[in-house]
Amino acid sequence: MTLAHTQITRRDLVSADTRTRLTMFASQFLGSFYSLQRPKLVELGEQDTTSALDYKVPVALGESNWTRWVNGIKYRDVGELMLSVLVGDWSDGVKAEYKKLQSDAWANYGWGRQPERMAIGASLIGVKLLAALIEAGETTASIENNLDGDTSSTAIKIFGQGKTVDPMGRSSAIYSNLFTSTGTTALGNTDKAAPMTLTNIDRVWQHIRTVKSQNGNDFRDLKWKYTLVHPADELKARRYFEEQGSANDNITEGASGDATISGSADQFKRPNTAKQHKIEVISVPYFSAANAGIWYPVCTTDESPLCPWLTLTQIPANEVPLAGNFPSPPQNANPLVPGFEWILDYLDSQMYKHGIPGVAPAGTVAIAAKRSQGVAITEPWRIFKCKGT
């Protein structure tokens, strides 16, 4: 009886500050999250929110260069493609003994820097998913398969050679967004393997500029704006593409365009034709070691100034109500809703009443945040993969 009475009394005499101190963590976390700069890759592409993170998202297809004249009027065809979404979850939380949480000292120092550290982790899920999706693009089904909701075919991959320029199937023109092996004969082998050298950069540039539009006649007028690289290739890429004054006006390479050992008679200085294009290099730390030596030109167009990918954030339909005041996003913050679901372990939880072996002893309370995101390549004809072999 005494033990039972103690448990009831302990619950009845819960400090009013306990819930607020737990949810104070959420307030600090959100404040830190709002202050963060969005990862570069996420910021460059399209962003949206959804209440249900579907694996298939409809994307309208149609270009002004698709020529269909009827009685003197040019009509744009708008087919619908079903976009495959790569989904990933992030979650993290903090726990504390209830009796410590009630102390006066906890109100000021208890959570330390954990809220801001966790906020940084939460902000990275999108860029990690994008890196994984881009890296796996040779084996991942492209949006180009799924005209008007048809998901029966997966033959066309995000990166491939000899792909049709019109997913609607009305043009026989082809393009490649993968540079590998000996290339495609019908394209003059301009899509053959392309290790990063001046000769190959020039060839890739010319190939990109001559990719046909959806009608098979005009050009897409792609503008090469960014190059994604593994960190191991960052300095090399910057030496080619960035403006470094006279330091990189010339590049030392062999006559064939291939790098050669120091002192080789084949080496000589070549004018650096790459830096005139003013292409921004983006090092992606989440590319795996297997991606070293591979580089990805990314293009925009006048109609599509964003990069050809989408980041979707799920907004929980029924968020847990929290006690306490929460910060409003600053004016320059990400305008999208953060999309966090809060998981609370109060005094009626299994964790508090009995503990969780290997996780927390009885008498522990906790709060955790969860975030779900998805990413997809929306227009694969605007991103290219260049391999050395």
Residues 108-119 pLDDT 10s: 677 889 999 999
Q: Which amino acid is at 191?
A: D
Look up residue 375 and give its two tokens: 């990413």
pLDDT given at position 251: 87
Hey, what's the torsion of the CAs at 342, 348, 353, 356, to 10 degrees?
A: -20
Tell me the C-alpha distance between 215 and 170, whole Å: 8
| Helices 114-123 and 16-35, packing angle to 10 deg | 50
Q: DSSP letters along 158-171, please? A: SS-SSEES-TTS--
Q: What is the mean pLDDT of residues 244-267?
A: 71
Structure tokens at 58: 């409809």
Share of the chain above pLDDT 70, in %: 77
**Would you state the pLDDT for residue 71?**
60
Could you tell me the residue range of the domain that residue 269 belongs to?
131-310+377-386
Q: Does a structural domain hold residue 240?
A: yes
* CA atoms of 197 and 258, how far apart (whole Å): 6
Residue 382 covered by a domain: yes
Q: Is the pLDDT of residue 360 over 60?
A: yes
Within a domain: residue 135? yes
Q: Give CA angle at 65 (295, 204), nearest 5°.
A: 20
How many Cβ atoms sit within 10 Å of the Cβ of residue 386?
A: 25
Q: What is the maximal distance between C-alpha atoms in the chain?
A: 94
Identify the CA nearest to 130 among candidates 37, 194, 38, 60. Answer: 38
Rounded distance, CA 93 to CA 206, Å?
A: 50
Q: Is residue 108 included in any domain, yes or no?
A: no
Q: Does 355 map to a domain?
A: no
pLDDT at 37: 86
For the residues 260-287, what does the mean pLDDT come to?
83
Mean pLDDT of all residues in the chain? 82
Residue 267 one-letter amino acid: Q
Is 180 part of a structural domain of the chain?
Answer: yes
pLDDT at 368 over 80: yes
Using the 8-state DSSP alphabet, how is residue 147 labeled? B
* pLDDT higher than 50, residue 3: no
Q: Is the pLDDT of residue 6 over 60?
A: no
**pLDDT computed for residue 145 by the predictor:** 85
Predicted pLDDT at 176 = 98
Give the global pTM.
0.85
Total domains, the chain: 1
The pLDDT assigned to 108 comes to: 66
**Which is higher by pLDDT, 378 or 177?**
177
- Look at residues 388, 351, 372, 363 and name the one whose alpha carbon lies nearest to residue 97: 363
Q: Is residue 283 part of a domain?
A: yes
How confident is the model at residue 10, as a pLDDT? 37
Distance CA 237, CA 307 (A): 19
- 364 in any annotated domain: no
